[in-house]
Structure 1
Amino acid sequence: MTMTFNDHQPIYQQLMAHLSQRICRGDLAPGEKLPSVRILAADVGVNPNTVSRTYMELEREKIVESKRGQGTFVTEELPIIEELRRSQAWQQTQQFKDNMEQLGIDQATALNLLEQAWNNKGGPS
């Protein structure tokens, strides 16, 4: 798994976001075992301590759980995953709204553009 990191946010937070998105999409299923710290660190090219912090923060948020001697697993608590999905969708929605406002786009036009994009229609009209 190749990842490109930016300089504007700590790497562990970017890795948390990446894993959270994979959980929301279902790429990582409830109860699925995550790669070991060393394997994920090697795969994405970061220090194992960074991955360890990522897992620790995800566990603090109850998105994953560690089982002593077995590894780290995606939570099986579906309400937690659904709340994560809603939270990420809300953040993306807020970012879209803020971007439209910065461009001077009103709500009706933004919603029209969103509908066109959702329906895979051509560019703005």
Structure 2
Amino acid sequence: MLHGRSLAVPAALILSSPAVAQPENWNDARPLTLTLSSFRFEPADIVLEHGVPYRLHLVNSASGGHDFAAREFLAAARIRPQDAPKIRDGRIALSGGESTDVTLIAPTPGTYRLRCTHFMHSAFGMTGRIVVR
């Protein structure tokens, strides 16, 4: 109290404030399967909606290793905390036949580069783009 006046702030004002972080509802993530194979991503063009949670199911259908390298996209997206360790240096690495899920919220609208960083894989066509609308 300041000179007999209450400084109480109505709870509705606090709860509607943008400064109060709302927890993400990861259970509502839209599933999206992406296949990494010999020198291609399927689909090569991935279209997502800004602010929407997605569960990316990455499947390496090849016998050798590949990665899902999208440094700018992964840096800008909100990643579910337990999935963050799967991302190293802006990429998600998969051994031959391996699959993994990464749940994230699509970042700011734009077009983001996607490629495999393994030797010569991009040169052989293992590239794509992620478009966030």
TM score, norm. by length of structure 2: 0.25
TM-score by length of 1: 0.26
Larger Rg, first or second structure (1 or 2): 2
More helix by share: 1
Determine which structure has greater relative contact order: mean sequence separation of CA pairs < 8 Å that are 6+ residues apart, divided by chain length.
2
Higher-strand-fraction structure: 2
